[in-house]
Amino acid sequence: MNKPTLHTSLTPSVLHLYDVSNSTVVIIDVLRATSTIATALYNGARCVIPVDSVSRCIELGKQIDGITAGERDGKIAEGLVYGNSPFEYPREFIEGKTLVLTTTNGTRLLQMALDKGAKEILTGSFPNLSAVCEYLIKKKQPTILACAAWKDRVNMEDTLFAGAVIERVKEHFHINCDSSQIAETLYGVARNDVFEFMKSKDASHYHRLIGFGLEKDIRYCFTPDVANVLPFYESGKLNIHKW
Pairing of strands 75-76, 24-28: unpaired
Q: Which of the ranges 80-88, 96-104, 196-204, 229-237 carries the binding residues for a copy of itself, by CB under 8 A?
A: 196-204
Q: How far is the CB of 28 from a copy of itself (least distance, A)?
A: 14
User: Considering only CA atoms, which of 203, 213, 157, 163 is closest in space to residue 183?
Assistant: 163
User: Considering only CA atoms, which of 167, 165, 161, 226 is closest in space to residue 31?
Assistant: 161
Q: Does 152 bind a copy of itself (CB under 8 A)?
A: yes
Distant-in-sequence, close-in-space partners of 13: CB < 8 Å, separation ≥ 6 = 149, 152
Q: Does 210 bind a copy of itself (CB under 8 A)?
A: no
User: Considering only CA atoms, which of 169, 163, 128 is closest in space to residue 10?
Assistant: 163
Q: Which of 164, 203, 214, 230 is close enough to bind a copy of itself by CB under 8 A?
A: 203
Task: Please name the amino acid found at residue 240.
Answer: I
Q: Which of 3, 138, 139, 151 is close enough to bind a copy of itself by CB under 8 A?
A: 151
Q: Does 178 bind a copy of itself (CB under 8 A)?
A: yes
2: phi then psi, degrees, rounded to nearest 5? -80, 125
Q: Which of 168, 172, 201, 237 is close enough to bind a copy of itself by CB under 8 A?
A: 201
Site for a copy of itself in 3-32 (CB under 8 A): 10-11, 13-14, 17
Interface with a copy of itself (CB under 8 A): 10-11, 13-14, 17, 150-156, 159, 176-179, 181-182, 185-186, 188-189, 201-205, 207
